[in-house]
Amino acid sequence: MTLMLTIRAGAVAIALALFAAAAAHAAAPAVKSQAPGYYRMMLGDFEVTALSDGTVGLEVEKLLTRTTPPQTKRALGRAFLKDPVETSVNGYLVNTGSKLVLIDAGAGKLFGPTLGGLVASLKAAGYQPEQIDEIYITHMHPDHVGGLAADGKAVFPNAVVRADKHDADFWLSQKTLDAAPKDEKGFIEGAMASLKPYVDAGKFKAFDSDTELAPGVKAVATHGHTPGHAIYVVESKGQKLVLWGDLIHVAAVQFPNPAVTIKFDSDSKAAAAQRKKAFADAAKGGYWVGAAHLAFPGIGHLRTESSGYAFVPANYSVPR
Ligand SMILES: [Zn+2]
């Protein structure tokens, strides 16, 4: 009897141990990665692909100007966000049918380890860096040009790079570098190193303000955030997408109040004026907009709301 009880107790113990082992294996370990970083839509005959370079935490309460940290906190709260705000860095690929155009190149290695994923997103989207014909840069801050070069070589070996001459004259000038305060030299050196392989190969071509760069793609001068900041208007078959670059950094704050500026602005007054003009035009025109730091894919529409604007993100769609 005692022996039987002992055997039974042993069997129960083994069964419990097996059950515990099975339970321990029942939950799969969390994968902790995101879906491939691209989102595709058609715009008339053009194929537009948003490409994620990654995200980076921005301490926006410190960075935003012409406002106060409590006001920023309140606006973030309304969007269920907290400082630092996980901020997207997006590039946009436009296949016009005759040209493959990349708008902004991401940060490469210039803005920390959480960015620099644009080429991986491009490949996931079915394209190779060698296929890019032209690259249009909104402005020469490191999170927009850093991805152009790696180890001193062009990442996009067959591409011609275009940017507004006012940005090139500023960011690629030895004079600017010499005159810059010590803590601002890094941005300028980053721009120079990123553009260098293209400049050396005769593949960097500046343009002066409003310019048609390819059929259906034109640059519009929006100087302010940087001396030569440009936005790009993409149009096909009556459909229009305006890629805003850095006309906006913090959606939760600057859509309701476009007067709020950021420390990265070269000329914050001009930057705010450009933002207001672009927002008013987008709300009136009802066309698509996209921006480098709106939550990926950063494409949607704008409408007026109380004294500011509301962004309506694109309805998820699958091109057919
Ligand atoms: Zn930026």
Percentage, residues of the chain above pLDDT 90? 91
* Tens-place pLDDT, residues 159-200: 999 999 999 999 999 999 999 999 999 999 999 999 999 999
What are the tens digits of pLDDT across the range 229-275?
Answer: 999 999 999 999 999 999 999 999 999 999 999 999 999 999 999 99
Q: What is the pLDDT of residue 36?
A: 97
43 CA from centroid of ligand 1 (Å): 24
Q: Summarize pLDDT for 45-56 with one digit per residue, the tens.
A: 999 999 999 999
Ligand 1 midpoint to CA 247 (Å) = 9
CA 142 / ligand 1 centre spacing (Å): 8
CA distance 134 to 219: 13
CA distance 284 to 299: 17
Q: Which carries the bigger pLDDT value, residue 142 or residue 5?
A: 142
Nearest to 292 by CA among 243, 254, 242: 243
Please, are residues 239 and 284 in contact by the beta-carbon 8 Å criterion?
no
Ranges of H-type helices in 53-204: 60-63, 69-78, 118-124, 142-145, 165-171, 174-179, 185-200
Type and span of the H or E element at 31: none
Per-residue pLDDT tens over the stretch 72-99: 999 999 999 999 999 999 999 999 999 9
Residue 209 alpha carbon to ligand 1 centre in Å: 19
Average per-residue pLDDT for the chain: 94
Distance 128 CA to ligand 1 centre (A): 24
Sole residue written with tokens 């097996």: 18
Instruction: Give distance in angstroms: CA of 52 to centre of ligand 1.
Output: 13
Helix%, strand%, coil% for the chain, nearest 5: 35, 30, 35
Q: Is 183 buried (19+), middle (13-18) or exposed (0-12) by CB count in 10 A?
A: exposed
Indicate whether 22 pLDDT > 80: no
With a CB cutoff of 8 Å and minimum separation 6, the contacts of 105 are 91, 118, 135, 137, 144, 145, 146, 147, 148, 155, 156, 194
CA of 141 to the centre of ligand 1 (A): 6
pTM score of the predicted model = 0.91
Short-list 226, 158, 227, CA closest to 197:
158
Structural tokens at position 44: 């008339």
